[in-house]
Amino acid sequence: MSSYISSIYCYCDHFCERCRFTARCAVFAGSAALADSDPDDPGFWQKLLEQFAQSHGLETGPDDWEIEVRKPTDEEIAFAEYEAALLEARLAQDQLICLSVGWQETVLCLLEDVSFWRAKARASASEAAMGLRSVQDAMGEAECVTDCLHRLRRFTETADMRLREAVINADGEGPDTTSGDGLAKSALHCLREARSALAGLFDIFPDEDRILPLFSPLAALERATDARFPAATSFVRPGFDEMPVVVTGDLELPWPSVSAPAAL
């Protein structure tokens, strides 16, 4: 029986470095095992398939599967690109995805506003130089700002990815092993984390012209996601949302073989 949590990677925020479940995530284990591998090496794919079988607790392995590893033909590549373009065109017309794209663009404009951030950095350095604040305080603030900006970008991008997956799944085109509600819940989690990062920036720089207006499109996206996926909040994501149980003094979690919507 596999020790990995089934499908946990389908509903995460991709912030592996701060995740407490990496030891039980098949994707994390596979990525770590193949970190120094070369996809052009034929042995790479054999190793990948072996890792897949091991992480999913399969009784069979690559030698038992009829899998041909080869480069795709030009026709196959062209067809895949054609299908991807059709999907992207359809998503571009989806109201929820349009809101997500608009939110991303707003965040990107803030992140890339070099003159704004340069002015803030100069003001902080000037205050430290004049003795109005300590150098340590100014450096600590800079680290906090950097962390907030990193989280804001990262969670915004992951939220958009999860929303796209949720919409595709809701249209009946996603994998059978994932749930549109679960993906939407993951997106909402990322949006809350993005809100936290934005609030952190506003606490440091209470700029009503440059930072405060970003809360409005974020709230609109959250409301639209809730309306589109009303059952999302009640979905129980494997690992993340399950109730812990205490066994012989150690904290353990029950891992279901499949994920399913359930009331919290």
pLDDT tens by residue, 106-152: 999 999 999 999 999 999 999 999 999 999 999 999 999 999 999 99
Please provide the average confidence, as pLDDT, over all residues in the chain: 86
Q: What is the pTM of this model?
A: 0.82
The answer to whether residue 248 scores a pLDDT higher than 80 is no
The answer to whether residue 260 scores a pLDDT higher than 70 is no
pLDDT tens by residue, 81-99: 999 999 999 999 999 999 9
The answer to whether residue 244 scores a pLDDT higher than 70 is no
Q: Which residue has the higher pLDDT, 185 or 247?
A: 185
pLDDT tens by residue, 147-185: 999 999 999 999 999 999 999 998 877 666 678 999 999
In the prediction, which pLDDT does 259 show? Answer: 36
Written as six digits, the tokens of 217 are: 């499109």
The answer to whether residue 12 scores a pLDDT higher than 60 is yes
Q: Which residue has the higher pLDDT, 215 or 62?
A: 215
The answer to whether residue 78 scores a pLDDT higher than 70 is yes
pLDDT tens by residue, 168-178: 998 877 666 67
The contacts of residue 113 (CB under 8 Å, 6+ apart) are 210
Written as six digits, the tokens of 218 are: 């974020």
Q: Which residue has the higher pLDDT, 41 or 144?
A: 144
In the prediction, which pLDDT does 257 show? Answer: 36
In the prediction, which pLDDT does 229 show? Answer: 96
Q: Over range 30-54, report the average pLDDT.
A: 76
d(CA 259, CA 181): 11
Domains, the chain, with CATH or none: 1-71+235-264 (no CATH), 74-230 (1.20.140)
d(CA 142, CA 34): 35
In the prediction, which pLDDT does 44 show? Answer: 80
Three-state secondary structure readout of 47-114? HHHHHHHHHCCCCCCHHHCCCCCCCCCHHHHHHHHHHHHHHHHHHHCCHHHHHHHHHHHHHHHHHCCH
The answer to whether residue 253 scores a pLDDT higher than 60 is no
In the prediction, which pLDDT does 263 show? Answer: 34
pLDDT tens by residue, 228-238: 999 999 999 99
**Candidate from 39-43, 118-122, 134-138, 246-250 with smallest mean pLDDT:** 246-250
In the prediction, which pLDDT does 243 show? Answer: 62
In the prediction, which pLDDT does 247 show? Answer: 46
